[in-house]
Structure 1
Amino acid sequence: MITFDDVKNAEKIIDGRLHRTPLVHSKTFSDMFNADVYFKMEIFQKTGSFKSRGAFVKFAYLTEEEKKNGVITASAGNHAQGVAFAANAYNVRATIVMPEFTTPAKINAVESYGGHVILKGSSYDEAHDYAVNLGVEKGMTFIEAYNDEKVISGQATIGKEIMDDLNPDVIIVPIGGGGLISGISFAAKSMNPNVRVIGVESEKADSMVKSLKEGRIVSYTSNDTIADGIAVKYPGNITFEMVKKYVDNIVTVNDEDIAYALFKLLEREKVLTEPSGAVGLAALLENKIDVKNKKVAIVLSGGNINFLLLSNIIYRALEREDKLIRLEFKLPDHPGIMIKIVNAISSVGANIYHAEVDNLKKNTPIGYQNLLFTVNIVDKKRINELLEKLNKLGFEYNIVN
């Protein structure tokens, strides 16, 4: 197990080389939850996530021989960037094995930091196994993503910063393999044993929750989650023991709630997180954690998001808040009919975001048009007004989910 001296040494290692990220108060969410809510902005860390901390600390302890032979790791995202960035700073050759499905943006980010990328396997686990074997074959040091005491001590600097700056009643932390929450909980409890540390997992990538219930390390339910940054199949043996000792509770949230929390952070705080980084707020929005009258720090662990996913999340959130509706019509193909629909939409203060005509749909009668309107609207009341006007026009339509 790490010591608090390890955390202080880690703090010295990263001082001046990485950011001491801000702890930002949120009036919006403080009022919403009747609490004093702060966000620890690891989204502003170099490489866009907390992973740089652990990587920098790990590299500081490499021997000259290990540096000469180079390092290798496996990751589909933030850990890859953190290792590549640290390797560049320490002038060490880094090979990063990434699954074959990895998005080009993530590959480009790793390469921009000087990492050599190998695409191998259809999953993180396959990429991990390949990287371990290749490392042994080539004499390279494998850099663990979370199950390593030096890496954990680097992540623990976040907990120390939170305690130095705020000393909250509750700290809420995302959980994947457990390195982040192990470090934060250890540092926080070392400084104030009364602080509560609560972890949040995706309900599909729930390996830590399941392992704690079983009393042994077991696999997650599924990795089919948008929160790919915390979709880790197994916790580490080190992190499992630390979580048992220092973490007070773990809750799970679903993808819809994660996506909505991400949207609310963007809408109300003007900050962009990746899905994994938004799970702490998702837990509060779904009343999974009671923080009433508490001083709360929520760790926003990373901000590296796929922009196509982001557009989908925004679209779905607007639907959830009754600010977006899709209407599909089958209209007689006669001049002047479409303008009646447009006028009805305009009359309630709504705006047509997208319109599509498809007359080749098989269920569209001959002599009719199939039109799909995506409409941005103020609220549920205006939606009802619009539907009432459309009903009076007498045209056939469906609300598309």
Structure 2
Amino acid sequence: MKSERLQLMLDTPVLQLEAMLPTLAEIHQAAELVYHFMPPTPQYHWPQIDQRAGAEVWIKHENHNPVGAFKLRGGIVYMDWLRREHPEVTTVISATRGNHGQSIAFAAARAGLRSVIVVPHGNSVEKNRAMCCLGAELIEHGDDFQAAVEHVKYLAAENGWHRVPSYDIRLVAGVATWALEFFVAAPPLEVLYVPIGMGTGIAGAVAARDALGLSTEIVGVTSTLAPATALSFAARHVVEYPATTKIADGVACRTPDPAALAVFLKGVSRIVEVADEEVAEAMRIYFSHTHNVAEGAGAAGLAALLKDRAVGNTLGGSRLGTALCGGNVDSNVFAAVLAGAEIR
């Protein structure tokens, strides 16, 4: 039985939605806020990755920030807006698989707000622990992210708490600062590969590219075992589909956000789907070639880039980019990945 909101999304033609994106001035304003809490993250091109790809590959290291993932930027900007526009709010609540929740917990604590975070059962143990240490009150509910979202809506209505969505233009403005930094600091990129969860990361990349007037092709990346976004992109409307990936929880989306999808349809050239095995190999490559730890979703962009390069080793141009957008992987999962063992 679909919720009324889900049915409304499915009934609304995505092309009728306005693909709203922050302006360059708004992204710069967001950056000023973000830099109160963290410096710009670095970008490097690593010789062994270049050699493997047969191209110049630039990596934006969003794993190098206080919560180890790009999502932090959005939470900072959203909480600043919330405190200014809704000073009556005392408690915020949101659903997550981990990195968005860490962002909200981090930013809420610094804004003097109580945060309640809902995760599905079986969520990352170490991400859960990190959210609690950042000050969140954790609730486990449901079998997947969408079930956690529905429970958040119920609790928010029942208790009068402010619900922080997974996709919002204020979140996008904050997250867009990673792409702005990347486009300004790296040489001109021909193609940028960006993993897609609920969409703030890639929408931020589209916003920054368009605001700077660049011609970089932006390619979305998701899992073959979480195909809802790719199916929605192909159908040009929201398609719901179960997510069963065991390693890339950050892209485990069952129901894409229609506003995010409108941005993809306008600003993303195509979507590449990668298998769990390809993601695991990219995690191993990051560790062996750069000695950085990448979570599954954080390595998905590199997995897609290498998958494209394997097709004649020329697809996509000669200067490519992606983000190591998160490094928050449970120790036992990462150990299994390095050992080439099955992820359970």
TM-score range, shorter chain: 0.7 to 0.9
Matched, 1:261 2:282: yes
Q: Which runs of 5+ in 1 are unaligned?
A: 320-401
2:142 to 107, 121, 132: 121
When Rg is computed on C-alpha atoms for both structures, the one with the higher figure is 1
**Matched residue count:** 317
Provide the C-alpha distance between the structure 2 equivalents of 1:30 and 1:14, rounded to a whole number of angstroms.
Answer: 31
Moved more, 92-101 or 82-91: 92-101
Does the aligned pair in 1 maintain the 2:46–2:58 contact within 8 Å? yes
Residue identity opposite 1:245 in structure 2? K
Q: Secondary structure at the match of 2:308?
A: coil
Provide the C-alpha distance between the structure 1 equivalents of 2:260 and 2:71, rounded to a whole number of angstroms.
Answer: 15
Matched, 1:165 2:189: no
Matched, 1:16 2:40: no
What is the aligned-residue identity percentage? 29
1:34 to 48, 51, 54: 54
Q: Secondary structure at the match of 1:299?
A: strand
Q: CA deviation at 1:157?
A: 0.8
Does the aligned pair in 2 maintain the 1:202–1:254 contact within 8 Å? yes
Q: CA deviation at 1:41?
A: 0.2
Provide the C-alpha distance between the structure 2 equivalents of 1:92 and 1:144, rounded to a whole number of angstroms.
Answer: 16
Provide the C-alpha distance between the structure 2 equivalents of 1:312 and 1:35, rounded to a whole number of angstroms.
Answer: 29
2:291 to 267, 270, 273: 270
Equivalent position of 2:116 in the other structure: 95
Residue identity opposite 1:25 in structure 2? H
2:155 to 124, 134, 137: 134
Provide the C-alpha distance between the structure 2 equivalents of 1:35 and 1:67, rounded to a whole number of angstroms.
Answer: 52
Does the aligned pair in 2 maintain the 1:48–1:302 contact within 8 Å? yes
Equivalent position of 1:246 in the other structure: 267
Does the aligned pair in 2 maintain the 1:19–1:46 contact within 8 Å? no
Task: State the structure with bigger RCO (CA 8 A, min sep 6), 1 or 2.
Answer: 2
Does the aligned pair in 2 maintain the 1:196–1:248 contact within 8 Å? yes
2:127 to 102, 106, 116: 106
Does the aligned pair in 2 maintain the 1:266–1:272 contact within 8 Å? yes
Q: CA deviation at 1:117?
A: 1.1
Q: CA deviation at 1:293?
A: 5.3
* TM-score, length of structure 2 as denominator length: 0.87
Provide the C-alpha distance between the structure 1 equivalents of 2:259 and 2:164, rounded to a whole number of angstroms.
Answer: 15
Provide the C-alpha distance between the structure 2 equivalents of 1:49 and 1:202, rounded to a whole number of angstroms.
Answer: 19
Does the aligned pair in 1 maintain the 2:219–2:268 contact within 8 Å? yes
Does the aligned pair in 2 maintain the 1:34–1:292 contact within 8 Å? no
Q: Secondary structure at the match of 1:155?
A: helix
Offset from partner CA, 1:336-360 (integer Å, 9 cap, x none): xxxxxxxxxxxxxxxxxxxxxxxxx
Q: CA deviation at 1:22?
A: 0.3
Q: CA deviation at 1:111?
A: 1.1
Does the aligned pair in 1 maintain the 2:46–2:289 contact within 8 Å? no
With over 3 angstroms needed to count, the CA separation of the structure-2 counterparts of 1:63 and 1:87, relative to structure 1, is: closer
